[in-house]
Amino acid sequence: MNIERRRHLALSLGWVATAPLASLALSACSARESAPDVGYTLLNGATAQLKAQQGKVMLVNFWATSCTTCVAEMPQIIATHEKFKGRGFDTLAVAMSYDPPAYVASFAEQRKLPFGVAIDNTGSVAKAFGDVRLTPTTFLLDKKGGIVKKFVGAPDFNALHGLIEDLLKEA
């Protein structure tokens, strides 16, 4: 067996041996920072509290209609929501305070966004999440409302889906 094949085999065996530990480490990490319990208003005028979503894995996406990366990633956010929504997963898209509500409403209607869209007109939701200023910024929350991961910029959606799968398995 040549050196290159041995190296590849060793790396492969190392990955196989540690892969089960990745989900174990994810579930063992109980000291996650809690997401803030913020109130928000949806486009339809309904008000809600983030804490009411506990029991679900949540994706909270801060975005703006003027953000090209936000607009470009939205089809993948929609696809992620559609893929996991029937299994205890939900998505909340939070439009930044500088985004005109009419633009947000038009975008949501044209794209038929299948999840809650909140307009953060005072900036209080962004401030509660650590003063979010860059878009897109996305938080993945576990069923207990803990922040599992923060993504600044578009996430690696394959990795995100793997995290969501692991989180949906947690008690």
**CATH number assigned to the domain comprising residue 50:** 3.40.30.10
Work out the angle at residue 38's Cα, subtended by the Cα atoms of residues 36 and 41, and round it to the nearest 5 degrees.
Answer: 150
Domain ranges, residue 8: 1-31
Q: How many domains does the chain have?
A: 2
Tens-digit pLDDT profile for residues 87-133: 999 999 999 999 999 999 999 999 999 999 999 999 999 999 999 99
State whether 131 and 162 are in the same domain. Answer: yes
Q: For residue 142, what pLDDT is reported?
A: 97
State whether 156 and 79 are in the same domain. Answer: yes
Q: For residue 1, what pLDDT is reported?
A: 52
State whether 39 and 50 are in the same domain. Answer: yes
State whether 135 and 159 are in the same domain. Answer: yes
How far, in Å, CA of 65 to CA of 99, rounded?
7
State whether 79 and 163 are in the same domain. Answer: yes
Per-residue pLDDT of the chain (171 residues; tens, 9 = 90+): 544 444 433 333 343 333 343 433 444 445 789 999 999 999 999 999 999 999 999 999 999 999 999 999 999 999 999 999 999 999 999 999 999 999 999 999 999 999 999 999 999 999 999 999 999 999 999 999 999 999 999 999 999 999 999 999 997
Q: For residue 15, what pLDDT is reported?
A: 37
